[in-house]
Every structure is written in C-alpha cells, then in structure tokens.
A = this chain, B = another copy of it.
Amino acid sequence: MLKNLTERRKQRNWSLQETADQLGIAKSTYAGYESGYRTPSLLSLAEIADLFETTVDSLIGRESTKQERIEITDLNLSPYQLSLDQQLLSSDEIIDIIAFLRTKRTLKSSE
C-alpha cells in the first residue's frame, strides 16, 4: 500500500491516464497501485518515486528512525560525510580513526 499516492497525483492535477503514460504502464495498473489492489515491481516503484520526487521509503511509509546509527566502516556506502571543525574528514583520516579506536578498544579490553 503506497502512501498518499492519490494525493500526490491530484496535487499535480494529473489524471490516472496521464500519470500512467508518464510511467509507461497501463492506466488500470497504476490505478491498482493507488487503490492498494496491486503492488508495483521495484523498478516501477523507483520510477514512481522519481516522478513524484520523493523516496521509496516515504512511499512505503517507512519512518525514518530518530536515532540513526552510522557505522564508520560503512561511511562510503552512506549519504553522510563527517566533518571536524567544519572541515570534511578525508578517507585517510577515517582510516586513522578506525585504527585508533580499534587499538584503544583492544587495549581497554585487555585491562
């Protein structure tokens, strides 16, 4: 069940047919998504998100977790960049931090 799909479309004054045409699918298919009778393929879902300028997470109603955990080793896979004193951390600095922290944690655990 996609969230607010009808509202998004109506805000743009698009008909079911116009919207379906833009997505390259049948009108009845698109209508099925709005009514919840059908679930789009992932590809279609991404296209719908593009068309309505939103995220897939938003369309499927996934709440953004309040306290978001960022794994330092995954930084390059994430949409985040760390900075210190307004200066972005270089990848070398990130590597240094990882090594530094791991060393500290090893020493700490052997006490």
Contacts and interface: CB of A to CB of B under 8 A. Distances in A.
Interface of A: 4, 7-8, 11, 39, 41-42, 45-46, 49, 53-58, 60, 62, 64-74, 77-89, 93, 96-98, 100-102, 104-105
B69 A83 contact: yes
A102 B83 contact: no
Identical subunits present: 2
A66 to B, nearest CB: 6
Contact of A55 (B55, B67, B93): B55
A58 B83 contact: no
Contacts of A98: 84
A79 B64 contact: yes
Most chain B CB neighbours (cut-off 10 Å) among A60, A71, A78:
A71
